[in-house]
Amino acid sequence: MIATGGNERTYRIAVIPGDGIGREVVPEGLRVLEAAARKFGFRLHLDEFDFASCDYYLKHNKMLPEDWKERIGSHDAIFFGAVGWPEKVPDHISLWGSLIQFRREFDQYANLRPVRLMPGIPCPLAGRAPGDIDFFVVRENTEGEYSSIGGSIFPGTHREVVIQETIMTRIGIDRILKFAFELAQKRPRKHLTSATKSNGISITMPYWDTRVEEMAKSFPDVTWDKYHIDILAAHFVLNPDRFNVVVASNLFGDILSDLGPACTGTIGIAPSGNINPERLFPSLFEPVHGSAPDIAGRGIANPVAQIWSGAMMLDHLGETEAGAAIVRAIEQVLPHKQLRTPDMGGTANTVTAGKAIADALT
């Protein structure tokens, strides 16, 4: 936040639309954020950047300028659309050259994804109504199973052995657990579930479990349990009402944080935060979906995931009332078919849907 002459709170936001439908849904996200700023009496100072996009890559032969950290590192948050255009630039270049750099360099070790069934969205799980499914998946975003340590011995022979190590550190586990317990503590049910697999992965996962037990001692008001990842995934489908905050390693969290939103209907509404809880670096807020080249340019992309990501960003910045008001506006608009985009069985286009949510706020 930067101090201004008057009493108004001002936040500096780095806006990166990226590729494909990112460029269509980001303006709708900004429309709703600006409506929220007017209503709740704060200001947004928006700086838009064209890097972290495939067009930028085609012009400059790189995804980011040399000084990208200086250019966005002192902003209060990053509002990101989507990156990737596989026909022009392979995904391993576009994704690894941009978003993965942000997550690593800005130590955004907590990946936060709400899983909530919204009114008006048909639920793929039979007999579930809004209110039955409302929890968060917290994924460790920087270590664990996704290490590049390993290799192949006797490659190409019948004796070939391929090894890839899982790296878990006490610091890395403890900081994600602390984040998850604190989140659980703030929610009415004050319950946390840990994903494990200590019956099969016999070194790292039992260690993860002991760190959960240890961390729980600092949160006596939070109840907790643990499930092996296989049955945990089954319970997401069979008993989603059991969950409040679910914390998981990088791989398990990756899987659960796609499965969760899938249980609540369309990919077009799922938001996420890549968070540096210590606030040493900006956190990044983006939809779970990608750039959707198949529908880009047609004006029919669902803007809800981007708008909801904006609500998470405001919550992170301390504008909790404004964040909650955006989520309520989304809940008010979604039941109306004529205000929903085609992926949700409606007839609205991106702009109509975005405007309807902005109007519902004021």
DSSP string covering 243-296, please? -SEEEE-HHHHHHHHHHHHHTTS-GGG-EEEEE-TT-SS-EEEEESS---TTTT
Select 78 or 89, whichever has its Cβ closest to Mg ion: 89
CA distance 261 to 301: 17
Any contact of residue 28 with ligand ATP (CB under 6 A)? no
Residue in 19, 107, 134, 254 annotated catalytic: 254
Any contact of residue 75 with ligand ATP (CB under 6 A)? no
Mask of contacts with Mg ion, 82-101, x by CB under 5 A?
Answer: --x-----------------
- Binding to ligand ATP (CB under 6 A): which residues in 39-58? none
Residue in 132, 174, 258, 359 annotated catalytic: 258
Any contact of residue 290 with ligand ATP (CB under 6 A)? yes
Any contact of residue 301 with ligand ATP (CB under 6 A)? yes
Q: Which residues pair with 168 in a beta bridge?
A: none
Any contact of residue 29 with ligand ATP (CB under 6 A)? no
Any contact of residue 287 with Mg ion (CB under 5 A)? no
Catalytic residue at 254? yes
Q: How far is the CB of 303 from ligand ATP (least distance, A)?
A: 7
Among the candidate windows 68-76, 122-130, 255-263, 297-305, which touches ligand ATP by CB under 6 A?
297-305
Which residues fall within 8 angstroms of residue 144, CB to CB, at 6 or more apart?
A: 166, 167, 168, 172, 204, 249, 250, 251
Q: Where are the alpha helices (DSSP H) in the chain?
A: 22-40, 54-60, 68-72, 91-96, 99-105, 170-186, 204-216, 229-238, 250-262, 304-317, 320-333, 350-361
Q: How many residues does the chain have?
A: 362
Select 205 or 329, whichever has its Cβ closest to ligand ATP: 329
Question: Per DSSP, which regions of 42-87 are E strands?
Answer: 42-48, 77-82
Residue 343 contact, options ligand ATP, Mg ion, none, Cβ 5-8 Å cut-off depending on partner type: ligand ATP
Tokens of 102: 């942000």
Q: How far is the CB of 290 from Mg ion (least distance, A)?
A: 4
Catalytic residue at 230? yes
Which residue among 110, 246, 292, 329 contacts ligand ATP (CB under 6 A)? Answer: 292
Select 172 or 310, whichever has its Cβ closest to ligand ATP: 310
Any contact of residue 21 with ligand ATP (CB under 6 A)? yes
Which residues fall within 8 angstroms of residue 128, CB to CB, at 6 or more apart?
A: 117, 240
Question: Residues touching ligand ATP: how many (CB under 6 A)?
Answer: 14
Q: How far is the CB of 309 from ligand ATP (least distance, A)?
A: 11
Residue in 197, 227, 315, 355 annotated catalytic: 197
Any contact of residue 113 with ligand ATP (CB under 6 A)? no
Residue 33 contact, options ligand ATP, Mg ion, none, Cβ 5-8 Å cut-off depending on partner type: none
Give how far the C-alpha of residue 302 lies from the chain's centroid of Cα atoms, to the nearest Å. 16
CA dihedral sign of residues 13, 15, 21, 23? positive
Q: For the purposes of burial, counting CB atoms within 10 Å of the CB of 162, is it exposed (0-12), middle (13-18) or buried (19 or more)?
A: exposed
Q: What are the residues binding Mg ion (CB under 5 A)?
A: 84, 290
